[in-house]
Amino acid sequence: MNLHAISRGVVLYFGFIFVAMSFFIFQGFQLTERVFTLVLLGIIILIGFFTGKKAGEHAGLNGFIIGIITSAFLIFFISPYTDMEWGLNFFIIVVWISVTTISAYIGGKFDVVSKSFKMPKTEKE
């Protein structure tokens, strides 16, 4: 487990959410639920991918922890504005954790593959 990668993922999450909220405010919140969901899903996939690249060996575990933390933030932010449906919240948490774990695993594997394609450095004489 890489705590630096986890903290970086959480900070990236807030950064991307603030950028997305700025976009939503600029659009006057005239977005469909589908677009809103796709933006949130894209954000969490990017965060998982970058966290996996940073974490390296235990990318899936780091993605799982990022998923738990960010889904908790999502539930806490949404809960004051909606009725508490525990089944729906559990479903959101499971989907959120699954997406971050899978994307972090892919990011970790992508980092391993990209490191294997790098040319070795040669010393200049």
Residue 124 lies in a domain: no
pLDDT digits (tens, 9 = 90+) for 69-106: 888 887 787 777 667 777 878 888 898 899 988 988 88
Q: CA angle 21-65-76, nearest 5°?
A: 45
As for how many domains the chain has, the answer is 1
Cα of 54 vs its chain's centroid, Å: 13
pLDDT digits (tens, 9 = 90+) for 41-54: 888 888 888 888 87
Residue 88 belongs to domain spanning: 3-115
Residue 80 lies in a domain: yes
Is the per-residue pLDDT at 124 higher than 70? no
For the CA atoms of 31, 34, 71, 15, what is the dihedral angle to 10 degrees? -50
Q: Exposure of 1 by Cβ count < 10 A (0-12 exposed, 13-18 middle, 19+ buried)?
A: exposed
Residue 123 lies in a domain: no
Residue 120 lies in a domain: no
